[in-house]
Structure 1
Amino acid sequence: MSVANSSQTTAATGANQPLTIQKGGFFNQPRAVWAVFFAGIIAFMGIGLVDPILKAIAEEMHASASEVSLLFTSYNAVMAVAMLITGVVTSRIGIKWTLLLGVVIIAVFSLLGGLSNDIWALVGYRAGWGLGNAFFVATALTAIVSLSNSGVTKAIILYEAAIGIGISVGPLLGGELGSISWRGPFIGVAGLMVIAFLAIILMMPKAAGVPKAAAAPAKKTSLLDPFRALRHRPLVVFGLTACFYNFGFFTLMAYAPFVMGLGIHELGYVFLGWGILLAVTSVFMAPWLQRKFGTVKSMAVMLTLFGLTLLAMAIWTDTQWVIIASVVFAGALLGNNNTLITTGVMNAAPVERSTASAAYSFLRFIGGAIAPYFAGKLAEWFNPHVPFYVGAGFVILSVLFILANHKHVKHVDHAGGH
């Protein structure tokens, strides 16, 4: 996710321009924005794509739940570390070519994953997929904000819509193609990424309405810049909050499919419902909550409800309908929280968006890297209830942490972007 202080910085380029500019309507966007939007949908499919096929992969490759969960761990771990170099790459080759680099890497490693025959090779290819996603994710929001003509707040909502659609379609695609073969979703994403590559190449030319700054940033970023950005406490607060709640998020994503007792098709439909609620709330409900109650208060409520949802899953792990209903309901809570925290981070610290994006995302995906494998191991060591108890505990910890640091982040509701 990308960040900047409204009074000091705007694009990853460092160009000075206030975040409050509102020029056009939500759907009145340049073609380049829609190209990134489309590619974003495909890229974010990767988060939920493997959910319906986790059990099938485990059976096919004779792997345990914790071993299969490494498909999330390697993906998130590499993404977290790679986030630290995305700013360096973007500042040297430009937003467009960084996006294309991410798309190509995703396509190559998803295809290799679909052709693999060993769980450890597949885990490695998912790590490569995470590298590509790092380049794309860290750059996509900056691109949409920089190229949009409807202002930062609407640009964030458009970005979150791409996330929501991608996350919701991912499990459906995974379920449908996975019913043919677990390899289908991986190969399918590779094909879609070819289309995304062509869309960006054709619709994001250096001329024809693309700002020079967005095409080739003038200021080069250092590898140390993300670490310097972490000197700003608000950025650290949001980053660690996301790290803690991602323990719950990826416990739900990586472990819940193993206790639902559903087939590939049915798992796809459950996570489709989860993703639809995530998309709808991120676009329509989260902005209202932010205006009505403020960013931090709304986040605290959403995360508290998410923690209680995981607690219900821990208590009634053996009751199928509770697990299914909880997963779907969690989509609404996570959709709200994702938009709230992204918008908050946008105004958290006076640093360039690409740099703050790298710092924040590094902290955020650490939780996403540890949680999946940890959840599987907890189930093996103890019982199926424990992973949800631990996930709930981390989510509640995220609430306590952000409330304890409220004075350091309350300014985000008074920044120009809002």
Structure 2
Amino acid sequence: MSASQGQDQAPASGPAQAKGTPDGKAAGPFRQPKAVWAVAFACVISFMGIGLVDPILPALADSLHATPSQVSLLFSSYLIVTAVAMLIVGWVSSRIGAKRTLVTGLAIIVVFAALAGTTDSINGIVGFRAGWGLGNALFIATSLAVIVASASGGFGGAIILYETALGLGIAVGPLLGGELGAISWRGPFFGVAVLMAVALIATIALVPDLPRPARVTSPLAPLKALRHRGLLTMGIMALLYNWGFFTMLGYAPYPMELDAHRLGLVFTAWGLLVAAFSVFFAPRLQARFGTAPVLYANLLGLGIVMAVIAAGVDSPTTVVVAVIVSGAFIGINNTLTTQAVMLVSPVERPVASSAYGFLRFIGGGLAPYVAGKLADATDLSVPFYLGAATFVLAVPVLAGGHRLLREAETGTGEAAPVSPSLTPVGTAGPAPAGPRPVVVAVGAHDEAAAVVDGAARLARDTGSPLEVVHVRQTAVVEEQAVDTETGAEAEAAVTAHLDRLAALGVTATGQILTGVGDHAAAGRALARHAAEVGARTVAVGRSPRGPLIQFADGSFTSALTHAATCTVVLVDPGEEPRPLTARALAELRAEAG
């Protein structure tokens, strides 16, 4: 999530909104426009679809006299169509705009979810789920971008709201599916149709039209992007992971031998772990051990869990416990796999997301079909053993791209000088040789100019050059990723300060850093850059973000202070800069709370 000096920045396609609230209080994640709430509600319903049908799978098989392998095609048709559609959603969105893409996706889901509830054959449901998959692709490819672009009070709050919607959807989906499924297997389908219809009306009424991209994305761009080794490697790893994941999701309900209501409770517990480990634990494990090591351990853990399900397939209790535990591993994997893709991808984020989505959904779509054939030909344990094998096989595939991932991860703090054509002559480019620079991080907020001025005084007093730095980040929420600002907006965040300093006779350089992840990841990126340029001091300002956002989204300042090899100082307007010690950080947290 795009951040610098712990401040929220302007969202892509929108004005600089990362400010405190009008009353001077820290911006809260839930103080958002109605447009954001409308899309967030639609996200809850969309994410419900992940586990909504699991509680009714046995009931569907009994009511429609279908085999488990036939019922598994509900997943295959849905995911394969989603996979293919991911190749064109970027092209569609760039032609008709994000809002129209979102509305089209919602309308398709409403229609095909309702039709699935009216049919009397398993083949009919499979076909209508395919149409549902098309709507799902259009929706998920644009929902995060629309929320970020529509947010106020800082995009960080919008991200927290999106994460909340994700967690609610994943957790409530199985619960609602179980409750409605206990009445009739048709209930979950009609329930989704009604709720999505409400979300559709709210989106049409409340979400404003958003600017279209400057250029149309080619429908072939995602396939061409797969020619890049890093993206292809991470995509294949995601394909293997999703093979195992959807094998479990599609077949685990049968050996549990539970009714729809109790199945709903099991998958609700599973969903809560998915959401919690995706949002809170994955970023912290990544910061401590690195992306690749955590993924290695996580994939092996999933392989073990799947092997336990396979070996204990005749014990419902064993399967129930193993499925719930798998939620922790799945939550971590969803987030870090997406981050790995975005780290190594040399193409635009939407194109990389489409290419990655195509491969991972293909894996998820083929797995239930193959699992059904294997179960019919052998016994129910074989698909789970195959799923365990795909998790383990993903480890050497990931290892094939380990070097690329490590280089990309350690290089996210690499700086790009601000274009000299956009700054006063002599103010841009590499920092001058000699004295160690004072680096000041800037974001779009009310007190940014005062923070830069304080850093300029510090640089003057120590005889150091001044470097103005801005972190341009990619927000990653589970399996979704979006740039929070354009390159031009990132440059503007720096050049505005350089122009103002030049008018005052102060010489400074400008740099833009890149990073993938939360605010803490941005802090570590700045710390790496400061070490590379031999900075004397890194100057930061107070964060306008509230304690809830800082807890969920990571603290830029804490991560910077812990990772920096030089002094980090807090610049308060009107006060002398002071070093940020562990005690000072604790005081800041107490004030924020």
Normalising to structure 1: TM-score of the pair?
0.89
Contact 1:160 1:282 in 2 (8 A): no
Equivalent residue number for residue 363 of structure 1: 359
Alignment of 1:13-412 (within 5 A): 26-148=29-151, 159-206=162-209, 214-410=210-406, 411-412=408-409
Deviation of the 1:27 alpha carbon:
4.3
**Alpha-carbon distance in structure 2 between the residues aligned to 1:168 and 1:188:** 16
2:41–2:199 Cα contact (<8 Å) kept:
yes
Deviation at residue 230 of structure 1 after TM alignment: 1.4
Please state how far the C-alpha of 1:218 moved relative to its aligned partner: 2.5
Task: Compute the displacement of 1:148 (Å).
Answer: 4.6
Deviation at 1:304, TM superposition (A): 1.3
Contact 1:156 1:343 in 2 (8 A): no
Q: Compared with structure 1, are the counterparts of its residues 289 and 144 closer, same or farther at alpha carbon in structure 2 (3 Å cutoff)?
A: farther
Question: How far did residue 398 of structure 1 move?
Answer: 1.1
SS at match of 1:222: coil
Distance 1:275 1:112 in 2: 27
Tell me, in whole angstroms, the C-alpha distance in 2 between the residues paired with 1:158 and 1:342: 19
CA separation of 1:300 and 1:160: change in aligned 2, threshold 3 A: farther
Higher strand share: 2
Distance 1:157-1:404 versus aligned 2 partners, 3 A rule: farther
Q: Output one character per residue of 1:270-298: Cα deviation in whole Å (capped at 9) or x when no partner.
A: 00100011111111111211211122221
In structure 2, relative to structure 1, the CA distance for the partners of 1:259 and 1:280 (3 Å cut) is: same
Contact between 1:105 and 1:128, CA under 8 Å: does it hold in 2?
A: yes
Q: Go from structure 1 to structure 2 and tell me whether the alpha carbon gap of 1:348 and 1:40 turns closer, same or farther (over 3 Å shift).
A: farther
Question: CA contact under 8 A between 1:157 and 1:339: conserved in structure 2?
Answer: no
**For 1:345-374, what per-residue CA distance to the aligned partner results, in whole angstroms no more than 9, with x for missing partners?**
333323222222211100011111111121
The residue matched to 2:184 in structure 1 has which SS? coil
1:84-140 per-position Cα deviation (integer Å, ceiling 9, x unaligned): 110111001111111111100000000000000111111000000000001011112
* Distance in 2 between residues matched to 1:55 and 1:74, nearest whole Å: 18
Aligned to 2:535: none
Compare 32-41 and 60-69 and name the one that shifted more: 32-41
Task: Note the C-alpha offset of 1:168.
Answer: 1.7
Q: Do the aligned partners of 1:11 and 1:145 also contact (CA within 8 Å) in 2?
A: no
Q: More deviation in 85-94 or 290-299? A: 290-299
Contact 2:255/2:315 (<8 A) preserved:
no
How far apart, CA to CA, are the structure 2 residues paired with 1:314 and 1:160? 32
Is the 1:295–1:413 Cα contact (8 Å) retained in structure 2?
Answer: no
Write the distance in 2 (CA, Å) between the matches of 1:16 and 1:204: 14
Does the CA contact (< 8 Å) of 2:91 and 2:218 recur in 1? yes
Q: CA contact under 8 A between 2:42 and 2:199: conserved in structure 1?
A: yes
1:29 to partner: Cα distance: 4.4
Report what 1:4 is aligned to: none
Compared CA separation, residues 156 and 368, structure 1 to 2 (3 A): farther
In the alignment, the residues of structure 2 paired with residue 354 and residue 398 of structure 1 have an alpha-carbon distance, to the nearest angstrom, of 24
Distance 2:138 2:299 in 1: 28
Q: C-alpha separation between the residues in 2 aligned to 1:370 and 1:249?
A: 11
Deviation at 1:391, TM superposition (A): 0.1
Which amino acid letter does the alignment assign opposite residue 199 of structure 2?
A
Distance 1:179 1:292 in 2: 44
Query: How many residues are paired up?
Result: 399
Root-mean-square deviation (Å):
2.5
CA distance in structure 1 between the aligned counterparts of 2:261 and 2:240, rounded to whole angstroms: 31
Partner of 2:222, secondary structure, is helix
> Could you tell me whether the CA contact under 8 Å between 1:241 and 1:401 is conserved in 2?
yes
CA offset at residue 61 of structure 1? 1.0
Instruction: Report the CA distance between 1:413 and its aligned residue.
Output: 5.4
Shift of 1:337: 1.2
Contact map agreement 1:88 1:222 (CA 8 A) in 2: yes
CA distance in 2, matches of 1:11, 1:67: 48
* Aligned-pair CA distance for 1:156: 5.9
Structure with larger RCO (C-alpha < 8 A, sep 6+): 1
Q: Give deviations 1:296-321, integer Å, cap 9, x for gaps.
A: 22122222111110011111111111
Task: Name the CA distance, whole Å, in 2 between partners of 1:40 and 1:314.
Answer: 33
* Structure 1 residues without counterparts, runs of 5 or longer: 1-9, 207-213
Q: Is residue 12–residue 352 contact of structure 1 (8 Å, CA) maintained in 2?
A: no
Report the counterpart of residue 467 of structure 2 in structure 1: none
Q: Please identify the structure whose Cα radius of gyration is greater.
A: 2
Per the alignment, do residues 137 and 351 of structure 1 end up closer, same or farther by CA in structure 2, a change over 3 Å counting? Answer: same
Distance 1:89 1:41, change over 3 A: same
Query: Cα distance 1:73–1:176, how it changes in 2: closer, same or farther (>3 A)?
Result: same
State the alpha-carbon separation in 1 of the partners of residues 396 and 153 from structure 2.
35
Matched position secondary structure for 1:47: coil
Residues 157 and 294 (structure 1), Cα distance of their counterparts in 2 relative to 1, 3 Å cut: farther
Give 3-state SS (helix, strand or coil) of 2:49's partner.
helix
CA displacement 1:311-336 (0-9 Å, x = unmatched): 11111111111100011011111111
